A and B are shown apart, each in its own frame.
Chain A
Amino acid sequence: MAKTSMRRTFRLVPLLAATPRHWSSNPGAPPPLQTRLLLYLSHRFHDVETLLSWIPWLKSRGVRQKNIFYGYTQENFGDNVAAAFYILSLRGGFRFAGQSEWFRSNKRGKFSWDFINQRDATIEEVDASNTLINYTGLENLVKQKSLRTLSLCGCVEVDDWFLSRLHVFQDTLEELDISHCPQITVGGLASLRNLRALRRLDISSLPKLQDPGLVAILLEEMLPQCQVTAFGFDHSLTYSHTPTDAQRTESVQEQ
C-alpha cells in the first residue's frame, strides 16, 4: 500500500513544479489550473483516474462511428453504392467513372440519393479532404478497382498504416494528395513504393517529416514516373554552433 501511494505521489513533484507540456496552442506555458487539479486528483483517487482514462475512448467514438463497415449496404445494394454512401457520410465527395458530375454533401451533411440507382458505376475520384477517414474505414473502399485520384488533404486520422493499405490500388491510383496530414512519417511514405501507376504525389506540410527535402528526392527516385510536390517546408540551412572538423583541426595545429 505504501509503495503504491509513494509511486503515485512521486509524480506529483514534477506536476506541482508545473513543467511545461504541450498544452493546446501554447507550448511554453504551464497547464491551466483545472487541468493540473484534475491530474493531481487522478494521482490520488482511482475513480478520477478511471474517468479521465475514458476520455480518449469517448473522443474516438466519433471517429469509429464514421468509419464503420457498411456491410448492410454492401449486401443489399452492392460494393459501389456502399463505398459511395460511406464517402458521402464522411462529408467527402466522389465522382463515378465515366461521368463528370461530383457527388458531395452540403454544409449540413445532406446529400442527394441519386447514387443508389447506379449500382454498376465504380468510383474514379475521391475527395476525402478534412474528413475522419481512417484505416478501418478504408475497408469500404478496397473493392473500387478503378480508383484514380485520392485526396486526403488535412485528414487527421490518416497514418502510416493507412498508407500501407493503399497497395490495393497499386495498378490504378494516379494521383495521391496527403498534404497536411499530421500523423504521416517516412516509414509510411516508404510503403508507397507499390503504387506503380502513381503520377502525382503531394506531400506538402507534413509536420512529422524531419528531412522533407531529402524525403522528396528519395520519393522521386523510388517512383520515377511520379511528380512529387512538397511545399510548406522550411528548406533553409540551419546553422549549428558546434565547430566543424576543419575549424577544430586548425585550432589544434595552432597550439
Chain B
Amino acid sequence: MSGSVIQEKVAKLLSRQNGKPVLRPIKPLALKNEVASRKLKKGEATCVTEMSLLMACWKQNDFNNTVCSKEVSVFYTCVEKAQNKAKGKQGTQGRLLPKEANTLLKRFPSLSSEI
C-alpha cells in the first residue's frame, strides 16, 4: 500500500515537468538482492603473555617440555578460550551477518518486474 506512495514521490522527483529533475540517477532506484559485506575488524594477537611465559621457561630449561608442562597446559587453555570466544562472537549482537542476509535474500528476493 505504501509502495505506490513512494513510487509517486520518486516519479515526481524524476519528472521534467517542473523544470530540471531533482534526481538524475545512474543506477536504478531499487534495492539490490544482496548486502555489502562488512569490513572484518582487525583483532589483536591473543595469548601473547602465555606464549612469552612459555618461551621464557623453554629458554631456561633448554626446550624441555616435561619440565615446562604447567606453562604448556596454561597456554593450551588460553588458546581454547580464545578460539571459543572468536567462534561465539561472530553471529551475536542482534544483527544478521552479511553472508546470512545474502542467503536469505537469494531465497526470498524482492521482485524487480511483474510476473
- Report whether chain A binds chain B: no
Residues of A at the B interface (CB closer than 8 Å) are none
Q: CB within 8 Å of A: which residues of B?
A: none
